[in-house]
Structure 1
């Protein structure tokens, strides 16, 4: 078998199910999310309505993203990606933006999220080496997050970012575990696709490179890593500039405009936005509020948003899960794979919690980091595999969290369907 053919086969084995249990996991979520998305697409118009460019539900910009890929300063290359998504959906709907069009968009999102869940499952099973008795509950826990539920039928940048980031972290973990470097073309492709959908995420592509074996002990290895990073940056910058006809001054003016717009919201205390929106809203649905919206062209419609938590129980839930995540980090501090995950998470914490960019709607950014939770919990369980008492304590805590998550998110989704039936 030729070297190219081997790499091609390995690539497909990386993305798609390669064992029986992986196929079962993938099909379970594909069918579950597929039923949810199909029902919403067929019976309601909220997934795509040409009159509603943004904010129909939870600040997602469905119509705007599908038609344009989003603003170039934040999503520089997504224009090209969503051209393909839109044309594929139009092919399915015979050129009409109707129920079939919404159905196709929902199933493309479903496929992306189901593959993302599969990547997390593969990481837990193959990289960490967790037994199925822990892996299955963790993957069901992750699959029940508010972010994965919403993105499973939402045509958005975050939907496909979730797939690309989970895929890259799994791939990078394989390379680090084998003590191999990430090839220059693989790094460049990752940087272009991940950074192209959301520009700040390109930083995460370079994090695993810093943990390659012997990088800072050999000038040759360091120079090789520097070349791969610089090559990736040059490719990305040239494609970015080509997208805006090399009018680079627009990047700074638009970026500053967006930062001012999304960083100066003070209606809610910062600590509450951090807990309820950034750390909490991506996992556990909070209260919903319905507001009047308009598309600036005379069409008025209703939008649904998340509010801060109104009970002390969700705050306890978030504090406990964060405690377990940071417990995992400090317990596995010397593990390079754990460092990669946490540093990637810290990038988003800096952007949204410290710089406050989009903090008031940070529940929609979950596709950038929410997969870190099940992976770090997986490392926590693994680190105590020889300590039955602590493992039993962790398992009991996790089971309580899991039951509450399922109950809360099920109730909130019934409220969401009430909103759909009332207005869409």
Structure 2
């Protein structure tokens, strides 16, 4: 395949490649753009030079933009955010003013809008759902709390969401065509995805397990091992170069971070799992305003999520989990479904079983929240020949969407703006 054709195919993969895809992309680019632009122009919360972290929902806006985040969790993010920051400074003439905030917001807007279009492409082109169902599930995903927040937040999770959505779509295309993922493509996925959040590099390897006849052919298995080793070597060398080959710092910092983010006992574990991990990424819970400081004498107000205070959100999350579990078992023999679910289980192990960051797991949604619409899409597909079941699923999803949008997330966003009006004008 010529270099020109490869570039063209990559462009078609990443960006809208049909009029309906372009329409969906422009719709969300406009909707998120209005939201992010309004916040950037009227409030300082997207980037305030005095506040390195925790202004809202434990996002580290200023710290991430300026440094890419801690090297032990985000080893190569430093390089990526150097480009983001310098481009934003170029547009704002070197000032951290409204233009700087607006630029950062639009970078996030574009990344999240491209994530949404990747989900739509997967539903339409991989699962081959009818347009009505694809649009329903895409819109459902677009108003998740994580998707809304990341659409204007300059964070690692914003770009991780896009990269994971893109890679899942790409890997699904390869598996569907019974083709292997090329070594360079795998290395690029591992470096970019794992570079922004180190644990996510594992997700780049999951689709390889389902390549055709992998465990029946030693030559194919050896080829996979070579590609994985090549990716790991590239990643490790870049990682070590980032920290001047002082590898002991990785273990020291990792243990320190694990202790810091895994020993919170103020809330029952089951409630953190439901309200924060499974729920907070989809459905906003109650908000709490806390007094914070930047460790240099500046005090400010921070907004965090509490557990749900009503039985209704718990019912919502329970129904959603039942639907995706139903989808998984109904499509158990489908290798594309297995790829999606194994990726999700990996996050469940890290956050729910190992308890890393469980008390703030609502901010990790960029790592897995796209799983919900994809598994729902496969559930719709499984009953494509059963009109009654399909109608039932459509109605249930519609009810979840209406409650999701009108009753909860919209109301919570008004509370978010009230917080901004009181503290960040």
Name the SS for the 1:389 alignment partner: helix
Map of 2:37 onto structure 1: 38
Q: Does 1:422 align with 2:422?
A: yes
Q: For structure 1, which runs of at least 5 residues remain unmatched after alignment?
A: none
The 1-side partners of 2:212 and 2:28 are apart by: 36
Map of 1:413 onto structure 2: 413
Map of 1:193 onto structure 2: 192
Following superposition, the deviation at residue 396 of structure 1 comes to 1.5
Map of 1:290 onto structure 2: 289
Map of 2:142 onto structure 1: 143
Map of 1:342 onto structure 2: 341
The 1-side partners of 2:2 and 2:398 are apart by: 46
Following superposition, the deviation at residue 397 of structure 1 comes to 1.1
Name the SS for the 2:300 alignment partner: strand
Name the SS for the 1:49 alignment partner: coil
Name the SS for the 1:216 alignment partner: helix
Q: Does 1:373 align with 2:365?
A: no
Task: Give the structure-2-normalised TM-score.
Answer: 0.99
Deviations 1:108-147 (A, max 9, x none): 0000000000000000000000011100011000000000
The 1-side partners of 2:289 and 2:198 are apart by: 31
The 1-side partners of 2:109 and 2:8 are apart by: 24
The 2-side partners of 1:153 and 1:304 are apart by: 16
Map of 2:103 onto structure 1: 104
Map of 2:78 onto structure 1: 79
Q: Does 1:127 align with 2:126?
A: yes
Aligned length: 423
Following superposition, the deviation at residue 395 of structure 1 comes to 1.4
Name the SS for the 1:360 alignment partner: helix
Q: Does 1:253 align with 2:238?
A: no
The 2-side partners of 1:55 and 1:95 are apart by: 25
Name the SS for the 2:302 alignment partner: strand
Map of 1:210 onto structure 2: 209
Q: For structure 2, which runs of at least 5 residues remain unmatched after alignment?
A: none
Query: Which stretches of structure 1, 4 residues or longer, exceed 2 Å deviation after superposition?
Result: none
Task: Give the structure-1-normalised TM-score.
Answer: 0.99
Cα RMSD after superposing both structures? 0.5
Following superposition, the deviation at residue 391 of structure 1 comes to 1.2
Map of 2:183 onto structure 1: 184
Map of 1:361 onto structure 2: 360
Map of 1:268 onto structure 2: 267
The 1-side partners of 2:178 and 2:285 are apart by: 42
Name the SS for the 1:207 alignment partner: helix
Q: Does 1:280 align with 2:291?
A: no
The 2-side partners of 1:388 and 1:40 are apart by: 44
Following superposition, the deviation at residue 33 of structure 1 comes to 0.1
The 1-side partners of 2:395 and 2:115 are apart by: 27
Following superposition, the deviation at residue 390 of structure 1 comes to 1.3
Following superposition, the deviation at residue 244 of structure 1 comes to 0.4
Following superposition, the deviation at residue 292 of structure 1 comes to 0.4
